């Protein structure tokens, strides 16, 4: 089944080379491409900084440097003072054309010094194709990297400026057309239009056919997590939501929740028979009883299962009957892979793909660049970029949304991407400061109105 049009290609260095090689007359026609690229950089730079007069263009020795030299010429033709130099201190704007998409690893000492000089100048920086020092195929940064205010990238967005940590170096990303044909890519950026794939309630639906969800969690002291997940599932348009909690938590959840059906863990698997999707983890705890619930669910259930939070603790791969979606943050994913959270933050793309392959299921790695990886399928990057999500409980909200979308019949990879998208959009609709997880829940219906 082909991917929907709500996905925008994200190019690696190899995929960009392939696109260039398909251009008529390449490599003899490469100067045409370079001319278009360089003049586009100058045009976008002047659009962003129309009052700037002095431009320092820092050029490397490769094609990226060639683009920079053409940009400098075009800026001079526009009446600006544009010099190819590493002496950037007197410039109004710096154009970074040191390294392009083919760069990998750590810059050598001379280049690293130039990068540090750019970063220390205290003026706006425009990166040509991507910030120097960022791996264009992964977003990884091994040493010094330019901090750009604007990145002018050619043909299509590069994976390295969509995935952290590279995305945090890029500033505003502008894509310019240089005449290449679109090609196949192993990763794609998720656009808000993906929400059009989520089924809406129809006049013929009943509460079960509109999406029936069971959420298992709510151990003592953590009942808020399962309540947030349940409320989010309803606000994501599920028709029926049940929550299963330990008997000791039942009275608390009965008081807190109005619409969901409440039951104890003892009745969870009977309730699962009526559920279109089951989520385990919000406030689940790490007791032998909670671990056995996860193991039994993976052994017996056939409908989609979301594993979050404590349900991920000490998880091992298995021959699971159900389609499974894991929703870890960096720390949880690090523990699943035997790595540190710092390693995951530095290698997000590799980490998500490793987890998907290891567990044979969809892995949603939370973050400003939420990554959805699935074995043998195109990796999806969701540009969440919502500071309000750095708030306790918002992960439980995502779990509820995802369970609702799975219960509505959306296939797991796209359900995960759609859930991450609306989660981010709802968070952006909350107050700029002081937002809490329930604010995100409350904002969900308005996103699809």
Q: Is the pLDDT of residue 344 over 80?
A: yes
| Mean pLDDT calculated for residue range 129-149 | 97
The third-level CATH classification (topology) of the domain covering 7-185 is Rossmann fold (3.40.50)
Residue 2 confidence class, pLDDT cut points 50, 70, 90: low
> Percentage of residues in the chain with pLDDT exceeding 70?
100
| Mean pLDDT calculated for residue range 370-389 | 96
Q: DSSP H helical segments within 121-201, as ranges? A: 167-170
Quick: pLDDT tens for 159-203.
999 999 999 999 999 999 999 999 999 999 999 999 999 999 999
Distance of CA 33 to the CA centre of its chain: 30
Quick: pLDDT tens for 294-341.
999 999 999 999 999 999 999 999 999 999 999 999 999 999 999 999
Decide if 176 contacts 44 (C-beta within 8 A).
Answer: yes
Quick: pLDDT tens for 24-55.
999 999 999 999 999 999 999 999 999 999 99
Q: CATH topology of 7-185 equal to that of 193-448? A: no
Task: State in words which class domain 193-448 has.
Answer: alpha beta
Query: What's the predicted TM-score (pTM) here?
Result: 0.95
Tokens 């544009």 correspond to 82
Say whether 137 sits in a helix, a strand or coil. coil
What's the confidence (pLDDT) of residue 3? 78
What's the confidence (pLDDT) of residue 146? 98
Say whether 376 sits in a helix, a strand or coil. coil
Q: Is the pLDDT of residue 1 over 80?
A: no
Beta partners for residue 307, in sequence order: 280, 326
What's the confidence (pLDDT) of residue 5? 83
| Mean pLDDT calculated for residue range 366-376 | 96
Q: Which residues contact 294 (CB under 8 A, 6 or more apart)?
A: 280, 284, 307, 311, 315
Domain boundaries, given as residue ranges, for the chain: 7-185, 193-448
């Amino acid at each position: 089944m082909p991917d929907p049009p709500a996905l925008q290609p994200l190019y690696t260095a190899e995929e960009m080379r392939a696109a260039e090689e398909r251009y008529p007359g390449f490599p003899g026609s490469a100067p045409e491409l370079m001319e278009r690229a360089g003049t586009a950089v100058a045009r976008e730079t002047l659009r962003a900084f129309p009052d700037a007069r002095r431009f320092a263009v820092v050029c490397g020795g490769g094609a990226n440097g060639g683009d920079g030299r053409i940009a400098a010429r075009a800026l001079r033709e526009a009446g600006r003072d544009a010099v190819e130099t590493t002496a950037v201190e007197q410039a109004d704007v710096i154009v970074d054309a040191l390294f392009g998409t083919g760069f990998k690893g750590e810059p050598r000492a001379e280049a690293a010094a130039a990068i540090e000089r750019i970063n220390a100048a205290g003026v706006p920086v425009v990166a040509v194709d991507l910030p120097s020092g960022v791996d264009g195929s992964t977003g990884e940064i091994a040493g010094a990297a330019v901090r750009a205010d604007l990145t002018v990238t050619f043909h299509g967005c590069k994976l390295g400026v969509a995935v952290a940590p590279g995305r945090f170096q890029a500033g505003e990303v502008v894509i310019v057309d240089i005449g290449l044909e679109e090609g196949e890519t192993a990763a794609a950026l998720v656009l808000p239009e993906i929400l059009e794939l989520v089924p809406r309630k129809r006049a013929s639906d009943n509460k079960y056919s509109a999406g029936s969800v069971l959420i298992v969690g709510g151990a003592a002291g953590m009942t808020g997590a399962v309540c947030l997940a349940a409320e989010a599932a309803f606000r994501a348009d599920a028709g029926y939501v049940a929550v299963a909690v330990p008997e000791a938590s039942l009275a608390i959840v009965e008081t807190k929740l109005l619409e969901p059906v409440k039951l104890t863990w003892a009745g969870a698997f009977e309730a699962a028979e009526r559920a279109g999707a089951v989520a385990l983890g919000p406030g689940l705890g790490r007791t032998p009883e909670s671990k056995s619930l996860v193991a039994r669910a993976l052994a017996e259930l056939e409908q989609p299962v979301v594993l979050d939070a404590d349900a991920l603790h000490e998880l091992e791969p298995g021959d699971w009957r159900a389609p499974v979606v894991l929703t870890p943050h960096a720390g949880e994913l690090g523990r699943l892979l035997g790595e540190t959270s710092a390693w995951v933050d530095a290698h997000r793309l590799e980490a998500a793909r490793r987890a998907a392959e290891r567990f044979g299921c969809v892995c949603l790695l939370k973050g400003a660049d939420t990554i959805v990886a699935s074995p043998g399928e195109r990796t999806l990057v969701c540009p969440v970029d919502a500071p309000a999500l750095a708030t306790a409980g918002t992960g439980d909200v995502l779990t509820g949304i995802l369970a609702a979308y799975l219960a509505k019949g959306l296939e797991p990879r796209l359900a995960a991407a759609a859930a991450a998208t609306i989660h981010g959009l709802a968070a952006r609709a909350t107050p700029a400061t002081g937002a809490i997880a329930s604010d995100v829940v409350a904002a969900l219906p308005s996103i699809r109105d």
